[in-house]
Amino acid sequence: MPNQPFKPEHSNSFIKLWRSFGYAFKGIRYATATQLNFRVHLVATITAVFMGLWLKISMDEWRWIMLCITLVLVVELLNTAIEMLTDLASPGYDAKAGHVKDVAAGAVIITALFALITGVIIFLPKIVTLLTHAA
Ligand SMILES: Nc1ncnc2c1ncn2[C@@H]1O[C@H](COP(=O)(O)OP(=O)(O)OP(=O)(O)O)[C@@H](O)[C@H]1O
């Protein structure tokens, strides 16, 4: 039926919950397949986790790294959703549509800078110590 919101049928609440997980992972798979930026963030995430294990960072430092990873991935997913919604609502040129995308991109940059600075603060002194001891 046209103009009716799509609502899949659910026989019980467990199946409803299970399907919600499925839709969420479908969204993450879609972002991974279509968004280069999201794939770059995933590579950065894996690199940060391996560096954390290699450099034996403290539990407190792990908390900061996990916060950065979560923030960066969540903001990138929201940015992707905003971009897609903007393209749906405004397929042609519209200055406001451009501003919407620019503002969302601004949120990604701020989060990525926060993650970068946190990573430098945590990892750089340990790498310098390793290198000076190796020399
Ligand atoms: N409909 C539009 N009207 C006006 N300006 C737009 C429109 N769509 C995009 N823009 C401008 O072009 C920029 C890039 O848009 P685009 O949709 O290519 O996003 P992107 O950041 O390159 O993301 P991706 O490459 O992941 O799709 C936007 O930030 C905005 O400034």
1 pLDDT higher than 60? no
pLDDT at residue 5 in the model: 76
Determine if residue 93 is labeled as part of a ligand binding site.
Answer: no
Helix extents (H) in the chain: 13-34, 36-54, 59-89, 95-134
Of ligand 1's atoms, which has the minimum distance to the CA of residue 91? 1
- Separation CA 38–CA 73 (nearest Å): 7
Question: pLDDT tens-digit profile of 93-110?
Answer: 999 999 999 999 999 999
Measuring from each residue's beta carbon to the nearest atom of ligand 1, which residues come in under 6 Å? 35, 37, 83, 90, 93-94, 97-98, 101-102, 105
The answer to whether residues 41 and 76 touch, using CB atoms and an 8 Å cutoff, is: yes
| ipTM entry | 0.90
Q: Which CATH number fits domain 37-134: 1.10.3210.10, 1.10.10.10, 1.10.287.3610, 3.10.129.10?
A: 1.10.287.3610
Q: What is the mean pLDDT of the chain?
A: 94
Mean pLDDT of 65-73: 98
Burial class (CB in 10 A: 0-12, 13-18, 19+), 75: buried
Question: pLDDT tens-digit profile of 6-64?
Answer: 776 666 888 888 888 999 999 999 999 999 999 999 999 999 999 999 999 999 999 99
* Residues in Cβ contact with 43 at an 8 Å cutoff, skipping those fewer than 6 apart: none
